[in-house]
Amino acid sequence: MTTYPHAPTALIRWLRFNFVGLIGVGVQLAMLESLLSATRMDYRTATMAAVEAAVLHNFCWHLRYTWRERRLNTVRLVLRRLLEFHLTNGAVSLAGSWTLMSLLVGRAGLPVIVANLVSIFACSLVNFLLAELLVFRKPRKPLPQRDSVRSRATLTRYQKAIKSNLAAQSSCVE
């Protein structure tokens, strides 16, 4: 993982998170509207598919924009963090959306799009905290590489051998 010396403040990061989230809202609402108008899908099932599209969209942009100074250097790390993002933000968004949509549309009779906006807003703060503290967490200080420790030990042995060799040579000269 590469870190950059100038990490944004928590406020800047929160603003970036919300900017990406707003675009994700557009992705989610467009997907929801498309699914509802093109299929006979239940509004809850369509909401889950739309949330999944937004979760994938948001992960990509959070990785490259919101937490760009914590960039992941390997495919394995990216996939691990994507799994973590789904288990945290995805789970909150899916469970929160399913529950709130059922209550707001099914019981309160709100329009689907309005209820969807309410559920997105309700989940956003929890999602930011989960992303900041768990998914895109700051890296621990890296442990020294085994090769670099071995190299230092080898260098120290060579330095001692050179000093003793010089000492032996100087005693022969005298």
Comparing C-alpha atoms, which of 74, 59, 55 is closest to residue 120?
55
pLDDT tens readout for residues 70-91: 878 889 999 999 999 999 998 9
Give CA–CA dist 150/157, Å, rounded: 11
DSSP secondary structure letter of residue 74: S
pLDDT tens readout for residues 135-148: 998 777 654 555 55
Tokens 């442990």 map to which residue? Answer: 143
128 within 8 A of 14, measured Cβ to Cβ = yes
pLDDT at 1 exceeding the cut of 50: no
Per-residue pLDDT band at 13 (split at 50, 70, 90) = very high
Q: Which has the minimum average pLDDT: 71-75, 109-113, 165-169?
A: 165-169
Residue 23 amino acid letter: I
- Using alpha carbons, list the distances in angstroms from residue 33 to 25, 112, 122: 12, 9, 20
Which has more pLDDT, 10 or 130?
130
Give CA–CA dist 126/9, Å, rounded: 18
Tokens of 52: 């999944």
pLDDT for 73:
81
Q: What percent of the chain has pLDDT over 70?
A: 78
Tokens of 58: 């948001």
109: left (phi over 0), alpha (psi -120 to 50) or beta: left
